[in-house]
Structure 1
C-alpha cells in the first residue's frame, strides 16, 4: 500500500487542489487527513465540500474542536475576525455535522495510527519543542524535539508508524521501533503561537506540503513533497479579509516579525 498524508489544510482550497492533483500522479492507494481542515480566512466551505466528496480517512485537529465549540450553544457571538470564527461563520450545518462525526484519532490497520498532535493531546507538539527566548530575539522559540521528548510524548503507543500534524513542519523521527511522521501543512507554511512560550514556525517557502508513505522490504519509505500553487492569490484573499499575518505567511513562508 502507498499512502498520501495530508494535514493542516486550513481552508486553503487551491493548495489542496494542487496537492490532490499531485497525489493523483503518484499511484497512491489511499489518502489520509490528519486534521486542522477549515480554520482560517480562505475557503472553508468549499474545502469542506471537496473533502466530504472524497471521503478520505480523516481525524479532527484542535481547530475542529475549537470551531465546533463556537457553534455549540450557548457559545455566543462568533467573531469572524479570528481564524476559527471566520470558518465557523461560513460553513453549513451539514459540514459542521461532518466535522463533529470525525474521530480524534484513528487506527488505520495494525501498522498505522493517525493523530493530530500527540496520542495524549491535539495541542501538543510531537516532533518540535517550544522554548523561551523568542521575545528576547533569541531565535524562533522552537526547536526539533530531542529523542527523549519524542519518546515521552508517545506514551505507551507502539504502532510501527504514527502520523501527526499540528506543527506544520515536515519531519520524521525513528523512536525505537516506531516511526513518527509529520507531512507538513497543505495550507499554511508559517504561523505564530504563545503556548507555552511565544514562538514562530516557518517553513521558509510558500509551497503546499504533503508526504508519501510506502512499505518496502527494507522498511517504510517516506517522501516529503512541496507543491507550488498560486499562493500570491491566496495571500491577497487573506489580506482582503484583514488577516495580514496570514497574508505574509502565505506569500513568503515566513512570519512578518522575522522577515528581513
Structure 2
C-alpha cells in the first residue's frame, strides 16, 4: 500500500492543486488529510469544494475545532476569515470529521498527537526556539498509543521519526503554509526555508513502513498576493520565502 499524506492546507488552493496533480503520477492507493484545512486569509471555500467530492479519509485539526466551537469575536484573524467565508455545507462537512482515524489496523491518523490536536509531537519548544524532540519526549506525548505507522501534522515541519520500540511517525509538513510564528507557550518561529508545498508518501514494504518527504514548487506568488490583498503581509512573506 502507498499512502499520500496531506496536512495543514490552510486554504491554499494553488498549493493543494499542485500537490493533487503531483500525486496522480506517483501511483498511490490512498490519499489522506490530517486537518487544518481552511483557516487562513486565502481561499477556504475553494479548498473545501475541491476536497469534499473526493471523499478522502480526513480528520479535523485544531482550526476545524476552533471554527466549530469558538465565538467569532474570540477567533484569530485566520480563523475569522474562514468563518466569514464558509457556507453551511462546509460547516456540516467539518462537523462530521473525526478527531482521529484508524485508516487500517496498522495506520493511525492524528493531527497533533494522540488525544491532543495542539501538541507539537515531533518538535519541542525551548528558548530560543524550535528543536527536534528527543525519543523520550516523543514517547511521553504518545499517551501509550502504538501503531506501525502514525501520521501527524500541526507543526508544519516535515519529519520522519523512527520509534525506539518499532514503528514510524510521519509528519508530512504543510501543503499550504511553509512558515509561521507563535507566542505559545513561548515566542517561536516555524520555518521550512522554502516556499514549496509539502506532503509525504508512506509505503508498506516487506520490512515495514517507509516514508518519503516531498517538497513541490508551485505558483506561490498567487497565494502571496491574495494574502497581501487581505492585509496579511505576514502570510505573504511566509508564502514567498518559507520564513518569517
Query: In which range does the TM-score fall when normalised by the shorter chain?
Result: over 0.9
**Partners of 2:72 and 2:139 in 1: CA distance:** 40
Query: What is the CA–CA distance in structure 2 between the aligned matches of 1:77 and 1:20, rounded to whole Å?
Result: 34
Report the alpha carbon displacement of residue 77 of structure 1 after superposing the two structures with TM. 4.6
Q: Residues 187-202 of structure 1 correspond to what in structure 2 (within 5 A)?
A: 187-202=176-191
Among 103, 106, 129, the residue aligned to 1:108: 103
Equivalent residue, structure 1, for 2:45: 45
RMSD: 1.2
Number of aligned positions between the proteins: 243
Q: Secondary structure at the match of 2:27?
A: coil
Aligned to 1:258: none
Deviation at 1:130, TM superposition (A): 0.8
Mapped pair 1:218 → 2:207:
yes
User: Do residues 4 (structure 1) and 4 (structure 2) align?
Assistant: yes
SS at 1:3's partner residue?
Answer: strand
Aligned residue in 2 for 1:30: 30
Deviation sequence 1:48-104 (CA, Å, 0-9, x none): 00110111000000000111124xxxx35587x700000010010010010011000
Q: Which residue of 2 aligns with 1:149?
A: 137
Structure 1 gap ranges (5+) = 134-140, 256-260
Aligned pairs for 1:1-150 within 5 A: 1-70=1-70, 75=71, 77=73, 82-133=77-128, 141-150=129-138
Deviation at 1:120, TM superposition (A): 2.4
CA distance in 2, matches of 1:185, 1:76: 25
Query: So what's the TM-score if we normalise by structure 1?
Result: 0.91
2:214 and 2:73 map into 1 onto residues whose CA distance is 39
TM-score by structure 2 length? 0.97
Gaps of 5+ in 2: none
CA deviations over 1:35-55 (Å, ceiling 9, x no partner): 000000000001000110111
Do the aligned partners of residues 77 and 124 (structure 1) sit closer, same or farther apart at CA in structure 2, a change above 3 Å counting?
closer
Q: Is structure 2 residue 224 aligned with structure 1 residue 235?
A: yes
Contact 1:61 1:122 in 2 (8 A): yes
